């Protein structure tokens, strides 16, 4: 959420923030965050915070990675220094950060990956999940397990079985958004959601595309995280009810209407398309801030509408209307 303040996040209805254990471990250091009173005090946020384990970040740096049953060795992206994490060490780091929800350390293979590599990741992730469960001792923190298995249905099923057997407060669904087609993800996601406990949150990690998010909700997903709304905002792209909008486009130069007439966010209430375009043309950082606020609000509001539709028993109708709408294929 670069460039967005915590009061702005409160104003647009954000309920949970995600912080990354890998990046905080490297800078400023989890000891510094702990000395500040934990993440809530450090960043001035009173509502829930989730920390992911940093496993995805580590395994995305495959050229510096050395993996064993004991843990994972990796090099810092900041200074090249070498570090080694066991599941137990990762739990200690996340507990010192003080988030409300923590995630186990898992092995996240890329796409495409051979079935043998994914099977190894499933086995190791399950072993590490049990060690994380044993090491985690903060009663004021929830701990989520993570399901892996790539796009292999049998391995997904095995990972669900082994992770649920350990027992967690919620379940992350990892190993998606690593390059696979969304259709392939959705085909294997449904059985995973159906097999996970109905009384625990299901958290699809790394997904923030509006259309894919709504399709995943229809399959039983409860939680999402993604850099997409703010990353696209910094490039001048806005989410809207009519699809993506590139505010750098010359056609908006004298368009004095609101960014999205159907949106109730602070940006749409106060600023025109022409003004926001002007900010990007001038490379003024306010443009990225205004679009970040809008894009975050757009997804939060979309999730609110989805909850209301589920509660009213009309979610299938909502999803059908979205998929038939003007913007669905634009995401």
Q: Which residues, listed in sequence order, are joined to residue 171 by a DSSP beta bridge? A: 145, 202
Residue 170 belongs to a domain: yes
Are 168 and 146 members of one domain?
Answer: yes
Tell me how far apart the terminal alpha carbons of the chain are, to the nearest angstrom.
20
52 catalytic, yes or no? yes
Helix, strand or coil, per DSSP, at residue 330: helix
Mean pLDDT of all residues in the chain?
95
* Residue after which a domain boundary falls, among 176, 204, 226: 226
Residue 200 belongs to a domain: yes
Residue 251 belongs to a domain: yes
pLDDT tens readout for residues 213-260: 999 999 999 999 999 999 999 999 999 989 999 999 999 999 999 999
Domain that holds residue 187: 6-226
Count up the domains in the chain and report the number: 2
Percent of the chain surpassing pLDDT 70: 100
Helix, strand or coil, per DSSP, at residue 83: strand
Are 266 and 198 members of one domain?
Answer: no
Residue 303 belongs to a domain: yes
Residue 282 belongs to a domain: yes
* Residue after which a domain boundary falls, among 226, 258, 292: 226
Are 39 and 123 members of one domain?
Answer: yes
**Interatomic CA distance for residues 159 and 212, integer angstroms:** 23
Are 220 and 242 members of one domain?
Answer: no
Sign of the CA dihedral with 292 first, then 296, 298, and 299 last: positive
Bridge-based pairing of strands 49-52 and 101-103 is parallel
Tell me: pLDDT of 326 over 90. no
Helix (H) or strand (E) holding 60: none
Are 251 and 212 members of one domain?
Answer: no
Taking residue 256's Cβ as centre, other Cβ atoms within 10 Å add up to 9
Give the contacts of 177 (CB within 8 A, at least 6 positions apart). 185, 205, 206, 207, 226
Are 197 and 313 members of one domain?
Answer: no
Give the contacts of 138 (CB within 8 A, at least 6 positions apart). 95
Are 290 and 208 members of one domain?
Answer: no
**Please, which pLDDT band fits residue 178 given cuts at 50, 70 and 90?**
confident
pLDDT tens readout for residues 82-128: 999 999 999 999 999 999 999 999 999 889 999 999 999 999 999 99
**Catalytic choice (100, 222, 225, 301):** 225
Give the contacts of 38 (CB within 8 A, at least 6 positions apart). 97, 98
CATH (domain of 212) = 3.20.20.105
Q: Which residues, listed in sequence order, are joined to residue 225 by a DSSP beta bridge? A: 205
> Do 143 and 106 form a contact (C-beta atoms < 8 A)?
no
DSSP letter for each residue of 307-319: HHHHHTT-HHHHH
> Do 61 and 22 form a contact (C-beta atoms < 8 A)?
no
Are 206 and 269 members of one domain?
Answer: no
Residue 219 belongs to a domain: yes
Residue 238 belongs to a domain: yes
Q: What is the pTM of this model?
A: 0.95
Are 137 and 177 members of one domain?
Answer: yes
**Please, which pLDDT band fits residue 53 given cuts at 50, 70 and 90?**
very high
79 catalytic, yes or no? no
Tell me how long the chain is: 331
Helix, strand or coil, per DSSP, at residue 14: coil
Report pLDDT for 110.
87
**Interatomic CA distance for residues 255 and 275, integer angstroms:** 9
Are 148 and 99 members of one domain?
Answer: yes
* Residue after which a domain boundary falls, among 197, 226, 255: 226
Taking Cα atoms as reference points, which of 197, 153, 192, 154 lies closest to residue 173? 192
**Interatomic CA distance for residues 254 and 201, integer angstroms:** 46
Report pLDDT for 195.
98
Taking residue 286's Cβ as centre, other Cβ atoms within 10 Å add up to 14
pLDDT tens readout for residues 155-177: 999 999 999 999 999 999 999 98
Are 174 and 253 members of one domain?
Answer: no
Residue 1 belongs to a domain: no
Higher pLDDT, 277 or 110: 277
Are 252 and 165 members of one domain?
Answer: no
**Interatomic CA distance for residues 129 and 166, integer angstroms:** 7
């Amino acid at each position: 959420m670069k460039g967005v303040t915590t009061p702005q996040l409160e104003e647009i209805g954000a309920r949970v923030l995600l912080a990354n254990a890998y990046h905080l471990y490297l800078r400023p250091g989890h000891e510094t965050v702990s000395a500040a009173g934990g993440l809530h005090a450090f960043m001035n946020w009173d509502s829930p915070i989730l920390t992911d384990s940093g496993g995805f970040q580590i395994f995305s740096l495959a050229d510096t990675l050395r993996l064993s049953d004991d843990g994972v060795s990796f090099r810092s992206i900041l200074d090249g220094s070498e570090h080694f994490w066991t599941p137990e060490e990762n739990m200690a780091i996340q507990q010192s950060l003080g988030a409300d929800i923590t995630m186990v350390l898992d092995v996240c293979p890329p796409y495409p990956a051979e079935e043998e590599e994914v099977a190894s990741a499933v086995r190791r992730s399950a072993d590490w999940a049990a060690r994380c469960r044993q090491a985690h001792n903060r009663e004021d923190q929830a701990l989520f397990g993570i399901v892996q298995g790539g796009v292999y249905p049998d391995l997904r099923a095995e990972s669900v079985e082994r992770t649920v057997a350990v027992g967690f407060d919620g379940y992350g669904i990892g190993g998606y958004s690593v390059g696979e087609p969304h259709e392939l993800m959705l085909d294997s996601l449904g059985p995973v959601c159906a097999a996970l406990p109905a009384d625990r949150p299901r958290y699809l990690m790394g997904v923030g595309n509006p259309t894919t998010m709504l399709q995943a909700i229809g399959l039983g997903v409860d939680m999402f995280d993604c850099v997409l709304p703010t990353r696209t905002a910094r490039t001048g792209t806005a989410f809207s009810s009519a699809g993506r909008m590139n505010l750098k486009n010359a056609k908006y130069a004298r368009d004095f209407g609101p960014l999205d007439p159907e949106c109730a966010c602070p940006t749409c209430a106060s600023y025109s398309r022409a003004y926001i375009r002007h900010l990007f043309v001038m490379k003024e950082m306010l443009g990225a801030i205004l679009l970040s606020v809008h894009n975050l609000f757009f997804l939060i509001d979309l999730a609110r509408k989805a909850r209301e539709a589920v509660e009213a028993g009309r979610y299938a109708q909502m999803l059908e209307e979205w998929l038939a709408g003007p913007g669905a294929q634009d995401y």
